Amino acid sequence: MRGTGDGDPARWRADPARRSRGAELLLRGARRPQLPGDGTLERLGTLVDDIPRLSAARARRGARMAAAAAAGVTLVALATGVWAWRGQRRAPPAPSAAGAAGLTVATAPAPATRRAIEAPPAPDVVVAPHAPSRRAHAARAVVETGPSNADALAREIALVDAARGDLAGAPARALVALDAHRREFPRGQLAAEREFLAVEALRRMNRLAEARARAAELEARYPSSSYASRAARLLQAP
């Protein structure tokens, strides 16, 4: 037991001579917190047992919406050449954004991604409103029917890359994509990287407590990952 409370004031109960009428009445009348009965505890327990399942169902709905938002983000990223950058990084230098997109298609993206890539690379606000529902279907397919690994990985890459592209300029938007990834691929192949990026996004948004919590979680889950140590260093920096 911590602390005996030596500096504490005397309790009313222990000080009958000096307590007021109001104090007397409070001590007699106030309801002391009661422990739940076994029946109550058990009934509530069955409700709590359901929470993860119910909330997973809600998260799937949420993921579809977030994925829809992320699809929008991906389109913007496309227009600004993030895919071109990715193509350059992953493959021999590509001459143009369109060429890079072609290379990416070759790595088997989800149908919606392919669709998005086929859209004109120029900023195109008309495409965005339609894209979400297609991407949403793709997301649902990923969650419900268990797609091939390649498709899942392509989707993981799309989400994480979109987030990385937004990290410096729009960390909040990056976090939306990362949260979508976290819901869809809690233990995905890019999970450690995602957590690291989330720490960085939170840090940039000055949500330091959450950043630290997330970094601690990253460290606990992937103790040997270089992302864990990088996240820790990130938070030590002044």
Partner 1 sequence: MKALPRAALQDQVPAALAIAGVGAVAPQELLDVRAIYRTHGRFVWLSLQRLGVQPADLDDIAQDVFVIVHRRLGTFDRRARLTTWLFGICMRVAANYRRRRRWTREVLAGGAEEERPDILVRREERELAERALGRLDVAKRATFVMFELEALSCLEIAELMNVPVGTVYSRLHGARRQLERTIARDLKKRGMG
* Positions that interact with partner 1 (CB under 8 A): 1-5, 7-15, 18, 20-23, 25-36, 40-41, 43-45, 47-49, 51-52, 55, 209-210, 212-214, 216-217, 220
Q: Which two tokens stand for residue 10?
A: 């005397």
On the 0-12 / 13-18 / 19+ scale of CB atoms within 10 A, 182 is buried
Cβ proximity to partner 1, 124 vs 217, nearer residue: 217
Shortest CB 9 distance to partner 1, Å: 7
Shortest CB 178 distance to partner 1, Å: 12
Q: How far apart are the first and last CA of the chain?
A: 37
| DSSP annotation of 12 | G
- Polymer length of the chain: 238
Shortest CB 208 distance to partner 1, Å: 11
Cβ proximity to partner 1, 55 vs 96, nearer residue: 55
The pair phi, psi for residue 74, each rounded to 5°, is: -60, -40
Residue showing tokens 């797609």 = 147
Cβ proximity to partner 1, 43 vs 90, nearer residue: 43
78-96 burial, b for 16+ CB within 10 Å, e for fewer? bbebbbbbbbeeeeeebee
Write the Ramachandran bin of 237: left for phi over 0, alpha for psi from -120 to 50, otherwise beta: beta
Cβ proximity to partner 1, 35 vs 122, nearer residue: 35
Shortest CB 41 distance to partner 1, Å: 6
Shortest CB 141 distance to partner 1, Å: 26
Cβ proximity to partner 1, 4 vs 145, nearer residue: 4
